[in-house]
Structure 1
């Protein structure tokens, strides 16, 4: 490719070749991406013949010739007559916009809504493939984070997506997480804004689409002042900035729509935000995104999202800490018709978060049995005091074990509640105690021996044998 580049540059010196207008400043003729080659020149027959002559000479020297079945020629601002003559001269088919490259449709004009339909089609296809599977909330969160939002982030790292597309993506993700009822997601208490907060701020780790889109594209703004050697940065300075400072640059008529979008990012960020997001020569979109959030750090997030806790238990513990479960008192406030508001397990008092986990006779017996076996003080039988107890500072290993047991107990109580509601029977305290005991025993095996002292290792073995 270096030989071809030198040949094209040499031919451009003494010939009727003319550069493509937007590439003249940098004298840019060709670009190579992996195994793809792009050639740029003026849309005239004379310039095309120069390029064709270089390609023929390159084929003679290397044996690499044009494959007419894979190559296309694209035009901009060229008459239909001239297009036909050029296509005939090159023996190539004229390509039409949008041009699809690496799965992304690209066009020289503003992105249209139909260009984004391919994203929504991929989202819906994924959802359809998962619909027949019985997935827990933790599994759905993983699929949304790794697959759906990963796909969204790929597109957002290239374009500013239309707001209608961003909202539709969030609607699809919300419906998949909570379950769908027609065109709406099923009943749930947490708002999508709450779910999209970072875990450290009390959310589940998703990111708001519009804000994240701007934060990801801000890397291009950051590169304008920190990466002057990049080709596209040189192009921007040659065509638009021309020595001006980006933050003081005034948009002029005739700018490309993409450049306008980048310039509009100045309305959302400050130069100081960009500087702080750059760490050791790399731009951290997450750091910039978090700097835009006006939230208080959640004191429970280390407890809830501890790696030693089972994923299903983490999500349940997050819901309990934030009072997000669909208990009967919450359903009643949401004007859902219920035959009874009494607890399904004890059938004595109104069902609520506080009652299910801290006041129900079954729950108090289970908590006492579990914590007695492990040698810990049982948690307080009051929701607010329990939150204080949960956030209490403990030694690292003790905290890991208490968090693990606490989450397992919470999960078991809620599953038993649902079992009473849907199937009409309750498990025994002894059975749930054994289940929690085995969960604790095997999850403690993942605690790295390198991270705990010998004394703590002996303590963990002692608990596993109880």
Structure 2
């Protein structure tokens, strides 16, 4: 983690933590059923950050803090003391068909939203935002080969993180092959970059 994470949490992203805390704090005084808590968490608390997380990469410490706020609200408290969390948070964030409750892990959801932004740039390169980013950060190469650069903005850093996530499951449809760089693409998933090997034919001298 970079050393400025604490500054980011207390500065640029402090309003996100405050907004979630105000919502949760107001709900603590209500007598809510399990279903009511689930609706409030999914439809309100976890939806507040969607726009910000689709543009910026939130610090890991902030994501963990937000997860703890939601977790503590779900399990509740008695006489001012937090109740025991009987189920691990990783299990609660699993889909319901896998035995979880479908809650969002803020860090993973943040990366998913950034990967979607990277996908839009890849699929719609003629949009205004995609053209501006290309002119500034990768004027002479492809988006997938674009580097972070010397002085990137926070948005470009976030998109780069989303692109790294996207590339883990990205495949290429060859089609007519016009935009396929056969010598610069790793054809088989593996560690390291290996080019395709071709046979070299040499004329043998007659015996």
TM over 0.5: yes
Structure with the bigger RCO (C-alpha within 8 Å, sep 6+) is 2
- Find the partner of 1:256 among 147, 153, 158: 153
User: How do 1:369-408 and structure 2 match up within 5 A?
Assistant: none
Which structure has the highest helix share of the two? 1
Contact 1:175 1:185 in 2 (8 A): yes
Match of residue 167 from structure 2: 270
- Find the partner of 1:247 among 136, 144, 153: 144
Match of residue 176 from structure 1: 73
Match of residue 93 from structure 2: 196
- CA deviations on 1:179-229 (whole Å, 9 max, x unpaired) are 136997411321110001111222111121111100111122112221122
* Residue 123 of structure 2 corresponds to residue 226 of structure 1: yes
Alpha-carbon distance in 2 for matches of 1:274, 1:143: 38
Contact 1:196 1:205 in 2 (8 A): yes
Seen in structure 2, the aligned counterparts of structure 1 residues 275 and 215 have a Cα distance that, compared at 3 Å, is farther
TM-score (normalised: structure 1): 0.33
User: How do 1:40-439 and structure 2 match up within 5 A?
Assistant: 113-180=10-77, 185-270=82-167, 272-273=169-170
Alpha-carbon distance in 2 for matches of 1:274, 1:165: 33
3-state DSSP of counterpart to 1:115: coil
Cα RMSD between the aligned structures?
A: 2.6
Contact 2:56 2:154 in 1 (8 A): no
Q: Structure 1: state its 5+ residue gaps.
A: 1-109, 277-466
Match of residue 338 from structure 1: none
TM-score (normalised: structure 2): 0.71
Q: Structure 2: state its 5+ residue gaps.
A: 1-6, 174-207
Deviation at 1:264, TM superposition (A): 3.0
Match of residue 3 from structure 2: none
Alpha-carbon distance in 2 for matches of 1:158, 1:183: 37
3-state DSSP of counterpart to 1:207: coil
Deviation at 1:272, TM superposition (A): 4.0
Alpha-carbon distance in 1 for matches of 2:79, 2:71: 13
Seen in structure 2, the aligned counterparts of structure 1 residues 176 and 121 have a Cα distance that, compared at 3 Å, is same
